[in-house]
C-alpha cells in the first residue's frame, strides 16, 4: 500500500529546502536547490517537479502525493501569493501556489516561513495541546507565528505576525524594511552581531572580537566566545535577551500565549539567550501574567521546522 505524503517546501532567498513528509511528520526524503538560480518562479516549479517526480518514480510510486505546503518570505495564506518579498529575485506579486498546483496537479497552500514553523510546532512539536502560543524564529531576521484560539493569526490581509518589525528603540538601528529601531535589528543573528560591534565601541573589555571583521563574524562564534567567558559576548547576549524579553512582555499583553517557543540559530545558544530573555520578560509583565508563561526551545530545534511546518500546513487543510 502506498503512503500518503505531502511535499513541504521552505523557500529562502538563497536556498530552498524541501522534503516528503507523512502525516506523522516523518521525513522520507529531503534535499535543497538554489533559489536564486531561477529568475522565473515557473522554472523553479519545473525544476522541483523534475526532482520530486524522479524521486517518486525511483521509489516505485510507494508515495501518494496529496498536496504541497510552502513556506516563503511574504507568503500570503489567503491568496497563495508571494507579495513584494525583498529577499527574492521574483519581484511583485507571484502566484506561487497556483503555479505549483498546475505543475504538480495537487492542491498547494502557502504561508510565510515563521507561520509554517508555528504550524510545525502545533502539528509535530510541543504545541499539540496548546490553543494559544507564540513561535519566534531567530535567523537572519526575526520571524513570528501567533496562534490564538487554536488558529494561526493571519489578520485581515494575510500579513499578521510581523513581530520582527515592532519598534523597540525610537530612532534606533536601521532595518532592512526601511524603518528604524525594529526588534530584528537587535534580536536575530544579525542583530546580536551589531550589538557585539556596538559593545566594542562602548566598552573597553578585551575580546576575541577585537581582531575580527564584521563580515567574518557569525552568531555561532558569539555563543562559543560566551562559553569561554568573553565579556563582550556575554554582554551581547544579556542585551539581546533584555530587548527580546521586554518585547515579549508586550506581546503577552496582546495575546497571552501559554508558551513561547524559540527556534533558529540564536535559540541554539541555550542559556545564554533563554536566561536573560526569561528574566526580563518576567520583570516587564503585568502582575496578572507573572510566572505563568513559559519560554522554551522549539521541539523541532534540530530539525527543519519550516519544511515540516509547510507540510503540516497542507495536512491541516486536509484534516
Residues that bind its own copies (CB under 8 A): 74, 83-84, 130-133, 146, 148-149, 151, 153-163, 165-167, 170, 177-179, 246, 249-251, 253-258, 284, 286-289, 292
Closest distance to its own copies from the beta carbon of 225 (Å): 28
DSSP 143-212: EEEEEETTEE--TTTS----GGGSBSSTT-SB-TTS-BSBGGGTSSHHHHHHHHHHHHHH-----GGGGS
How far is 69 from 151, CA to CA, in rounded Å? 17
Torsion angle of alpha carbons 273, 275, 277, 283, nearest 10°?
-160
> Residue 19 or 145: which CB sits closer to its own copies?
145
Closest distance to its own copies from the beta carbon of 200 (Å): 23
Closest distance to its own copies from the beta carbon of 98 (Å): 21
> Residue 101 or 113: which CB sits closer to its own copies?
113
Closest distance to its own copies from the beta carbon of 87 (Å): 14
Closest distance to its own copies from the beta carbon of 173 (Å): 15
Q: Is the dihedral of CA 263, 313, 100, 52 positive or negative?
A: positive
**Closest by alpha carbon to 97, among 185, 176, 174, 158?**
158
Closest distance to its own copies from the beta carbon of 164 (Å): 8
Residues making up the chain, counted from first to last: 319
> Residue 190 or 207: which CB sits closer to its own copies?
190
Closest distance to its own copies from the beta carbon of 180 (Å): 10
> Residue 59 or 256: which CB sits closer to its own copies?
256
> Residue 83 or 198: which CB sits closer to its own copies?
83
> Residue 52 or 136: which CB sits closer to its own copies?
136
Q: Are 163 and 136 in contact (CB under 8 A)?
A: yes
Torsion angle of alpha carbons 37, 42, 48, 51, nearest 10°?
-100
Q: 100 - beta bridge partners?
A: none
Q: Which residue has the cell 514553523?
A: 117
How far is 141 from 184, CA to CA, in rounded Å? 5
Task: Give SS3 for 262.
Answer: strand
> Residue 95 or 284: which CB sits closer to its own copies?
284
Amino acid at each position: 500500500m502506498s503512503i500518503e505524503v505531502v511535499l513541504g517546501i521552505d523557500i529562502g532567498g538563497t536556498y530552498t529546502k524541501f522534503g516528503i513528509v507523512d502525516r506523522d511528520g516523518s521525513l522520507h526524503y529531503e534535499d535543497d536547490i538554489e533559489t536564486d538560480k531561477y529568475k522565473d518562479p515557473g522554472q523553479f516549479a519545473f525544476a522541483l517537479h523534475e526532482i520530486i517526480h524522479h524521486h517518486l518514480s525511483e521509489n516505485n510510486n510507494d508515495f501518494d502525493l496529496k498536496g504541497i505546503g510552502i513556506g516563503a518570505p511574504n507568503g500570503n495564506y489567503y491568496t497563495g501569493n508571494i507579495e513584494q518579498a525583498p529577499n527574492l529575485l521574483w519581484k511583485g506579486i507571484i502566484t506561487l501556489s497556483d503555479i505549483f498546483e498546475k505543475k504538480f496537479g495537487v492542491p498547494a497552500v502557502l504561508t510565510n516561513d515563521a507561520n509554517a514553523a508555528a504550524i510545525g510546532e502545533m502539528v509535530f512539536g510541543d504545541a499539540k495541546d496548546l490553543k494559544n502560543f507564540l513561535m519566534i524564529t531567530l535567523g537572519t531576521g526575526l520571524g513570528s507565528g501567533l496562534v490564538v484560539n487554536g488558529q494561526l493569526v493571519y489578520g485581515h490581509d494575510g500579513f499578521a505576525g510581523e513581530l520582527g518589525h515592532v519598534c523597540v528603540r525610537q530612532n534606533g538601528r536601521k532595518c532592512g524594511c526601511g524603518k528604524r529601531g525594529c526588534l530584528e535589528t537587535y534580536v536575530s543573528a544579525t542583530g546580536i552581531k551589531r550589538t557585539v560591534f556596538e559593545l566594542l565601541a562602548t566598552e573597553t573589555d578585551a575580546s576575541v572580537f577585537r581582531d575580527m571583521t564584521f563580515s567574518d563574524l557569525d552568531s555561532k562564534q558569539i555563543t562559543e566566545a560566551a562559553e569561554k567567558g568573553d565579556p563582550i559576548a556575554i554582554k551581547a547576549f544579556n542585551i539581546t535577551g533584555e530587548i527580546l524579553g521586554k518585547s515579549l512582555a508586550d506581546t503577552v499583553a496582546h495575546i497571552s500565549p501559554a508558551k513561547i517557543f524559540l527556534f533558529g540559530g540564536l535559540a541554539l545558544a541555550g542559556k545564554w539567550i533563554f536566561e536573560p530573555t526569561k528574566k526580563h520578560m518576567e520583570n516587564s509583565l503585568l502582575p496578572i501574567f507573572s510566572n505563568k508563561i513559559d519560554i522554551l526551545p522549539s521541539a523541532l530545534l534540530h530539525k527543519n521546522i519550516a519544511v515540516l511546518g509547510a507540510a503540516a500546513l497542507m495536512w491541516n487543510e486536509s484534516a
